[in-house]
């Protein structure tokens, strides 16, 4: 599955638009992470517990979006975006969305890359 945050895929022609696809996850804070974050606020630095939580959330939302695209028969998702919102004081939603498309992959040279989240494209 090709995943890009642009409207087109360089070197490919979009043959068909399947529609909007989306994936989300809602995560709550962990008391242990909150305590560790409070101490870290005193000395500064990265809140690694929250960083890990966000990485997991992005991967899960992305996987859900890609599963929906695959169900529609798409082989690519273009214009991918991430958004977050607060649900309650202790929980947040991570939302991933894009446009599922069928791209012409019959070209003899298909670039193979890997995103930061480890999704092979």
CA 79 – CA 14 distance, rounded (Å): 13
pLDDT score for 91: 80
Write down the pTM of the prediction.
0.76
Question: What domains, with CATH codes, occur in the chain?
Answer: 2-103 (3.30.110.70)
- pLDDT tens-place string over residues 20-46: 999 999 988 765 555 555 555 556 677
Least confident of 63-72, 75-84, 97-106, 110-119: 110-119
* Contact status, residue 112 vs residue 83, Cβ threshold 8 Å: no
* Structure confidence at residue 71 as a pLDDT band (50, 70, 90): very high
The three state secondary structure string of 18-87 is EEEEEEEEEEECCHHHHHHHHHHHHHCCCCHHHHHHHHHHHHHHHHHHHHHHHHCCCCEEEEEEEEEEEE
């Amino acid at each position: 599955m090709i995943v890009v945050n642009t409207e087109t895929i360089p070197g490919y022609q979009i043959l068909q638009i399947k529609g909007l696809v989306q994936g989300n996850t809602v995560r709550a804070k962990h008391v242990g992470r909150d305590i560790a974050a409070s101490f870290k606020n005193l000395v500064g630095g990265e809140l690694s517990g929250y960083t890990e939580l966000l990485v997991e959330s992005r991967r899960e939302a992305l996987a859900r979006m890609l599963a929906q695209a695959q169900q529609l028969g798409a082989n690519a998702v273009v214009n991918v975006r991430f958004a977050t919102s607060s649900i309650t004081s202790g929980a947040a939603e991570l939302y991933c969305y894009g446009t599922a498309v069928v791209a012409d992959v019959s070209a003899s040279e298909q670039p193979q890359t890997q995103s930061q989240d480890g999704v092979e494209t």
